[in-house]
Structure 1
Amino acid sequence: MTEAVENGNLIMKLEAFFSSCILEGWKDSVVTLQNTQRVYDWSENLGIVRRCIESIVDKILTPPAKARVREKRQSVPKDWWTEDISFLDIDMFRCIVTAVKSTNVLQPQLIGEALHVYACRWLLDMTESQPNESSSSRGDDSPHRKRRILETIVGLIPADKASVSIKFLLRLLSFANFLGVSPVTKAELLRLSSLQLEEVTLDDLLLPTRSPNDQTSHDTDLVKTVLESFLRQWRRQTSASESQSLLRSIHKIGKLVDSYLLVVAKDANLPVHKFASLIETLPGIARPEHNDLYKAINTYLKEKKGNTTINKTHASPEQHADRQETSVIRDELSKLKLSAGEQSSKGKGNRSSEPGTSGVHHNLRKYDDKQQLRQEQSFKIRAATERGTEKGMEIREEDISGIHLNHHKKAQVRRVSEKTHSKSRER
């Protein structure tokens, strides 16, 4: 098989074929590199992996007009290579992207596009809750593999601020929380997201919740975390220098967050503490006006009020506590209104002329400069007189609810009471 026996043996012919045919074509180089995974150690020792990667990188860096691509197109886009290399293993993909980045020939946006295409192919479809068909068909959708892919992609993001979109970063962060990636990866995604938060749109923030235990429609925790990170950076910049651009920036974020609140307020399953916490995250300077905030709060209260058909027997303790928190004021007001209505109807109807027969009275009394609601029990003088007990005949001033007597009238009442009591004892 070697040239030591005779010229033109198999090894020489294979080398000529590999160099002139495989490495010269784009598709052949990618497919060959993809197939080396089956016998990776053998291919690595023979230098096949290294030479295929070098060939692919060289063709990526070649201007599209000079690239030898089998599929002839009228105009070749700059990102023509991103989809083909997305089929490769994550380690091979990392080697290619790292080599391309090191040359500083391509724009950072093209590197970011390659990362986006690869993430959409191998990770969960970030707009759906089901796995991507390409990953499911290959059986490579294990959480461990996806964590590794996600961490590698985050490590390859260029330092340029505009290399990837804020929407892509937020979707990666949402998926990172779901997969439980390393804290370093989460921190980096959070930092990059907060740096580009000014470019975010309302649709970008409407990320679905991925936790199976969370019944809410939108991931408000993620939005709150990114917002807090943005505010920390904004405060550091504000302490260093105050400018109109920083003020416009916080106003823009404030208006966007209030618009987001108006959308999530329609979710009846959103807990009160999450909704309130998101409102309080923004500083006062971020809201020059509160129109959208008032609309959001009004919408949220209406949704909570209308959510009365839920079977409470199947609710969790947290849901019971949250529902009680939102309805306690409404219930108390209803009770007070009902009590006031009963007293009013009695006053217009068959109300007794005797004092103390008006039922239960609610009086506001001050204790330590605070008004407290206290109930006083009424009594009937006629019943107490028939019993003839001294305790029943003791008329205390505070028990005569709703009657205002001066000192002279009160003395007359006491004298009448004493005479009645003495006559009762003589009998």
Structure 2
Amino acid sequence: MAANTNTSRKIARYAVPVAVAGVAAATVAMVPAFANAGGPDLPKVTAQQLIEKIAASDVEQLSGTAKISTDLGLPKIATGLLGGGGGVAGGSANPEDKVAQLANGTHTFRVAADGPDRQKLTFLDGKDEYSLIHNGADVWGYDSKSNEVFHEKNGEAGKGAEHKKGEGLPASPQQLAQDVLKAAGPTTDVGVGDTVQVAGRDAYQLVLKPKQSGSTVGSVQIAVDAKNGVPLRVQLLSSQGGKPIVDAGFTKVDFAKPSADTFAFTAPKGAKVTEGGAEGAGREHGKEFKGLDAFPGFGDLLGGPDGKGGKHGDVKVLGEGWATIARIDSGAGKGLKELENDKNAPKQAKDFLNSLGDKVSGKFGEGRVLSTRLVNALITDDGKVYVGAVTKDALVKAADANK
């Protein structure tokens, strides 16, 4: 989740989203809710009515506690790149570093919002805390463990400029729900599932399922407050079953206006303050997630030091919707087999390769599949990469058809 400074500004300008855009009525299956013996007894609604309820919600004020659990099925050698499975890793107050940690493990945080100009998120993992605060023209990040402060002027918010409701609290249930709904299209079946209770509130469940085969995603379930239309929980379920890949939801929520002092912040005495406009701000501790190129030997394999194909990379998008696969021709002419047989290759690269990769073969030749519960990547022996939220079989078929 690490990003550049522009992304950190976008993260900082978060707010509770109150509208849902980008879901065409023609793509929604008008499936009414069925009787549910285990959940609250609510009036039946169609998927379209439930989406309209989310879009019509005018809630911009709330406070509460939320939890997000992410289980990508990564081995220990890889989870270290994402900040570990729990606890607030001190060392940098940069918001990018903290948001990146949500990609692994279970995290609890307090949430407060009062319209587009005042929001606060506080990580509660362990005895140390990290707070991200937007209050008018200022954005603050504070890491209690390192006693470091990140500060950035939010010019647009301070001037009362146009606020985009889609720029929501990073990884909050509302923001995740809106992102998912925006991505829904002709390749998605949208219906209504069982009613549930989330944080003590009655809720409907909007269920999105891929129409195509081969996706690692079984469904996305969004619990929607039956009274005010606010998304209370988002669950991303695997097509292989088991516990959710991502489970983000409120455990407590109150829709009253938070007190003004909730968003007040003054840098503690002796704290190191880093201004966000400076080049490389917040990165002096080297905690930026770099992906596979963090391991020596993989940057060249993917065609450049950034691990994104480099200047020689050629990216082609195959398929659409949930079955989309990116084909990257690195142009490096260096494959996994060569890396395996290279006596001078760094041990870290080989360890990472052995921990993730299953050997596969097909018409394309040979390669390895680096697997998680959500995203899989096939790296062929001639240096091509096929990656997507699809199964291993789907990657092999794509490689055979596009060799």
Q: Do Structure 1 and Structure 2 share a fold, with TM-score over 0.5?
A: no
**Which structure has greater strand proportion?**
2
Interval of TM-score (by shorter of Structure 1 and Structure 2): under 0.3
**Which structure has greater helix proportion?**
1
Which entry has the higher C-alpha Rg, 1 or 2?
Answer: 1
Give the TM-score normalised by the residue count of structure 2: 0.18
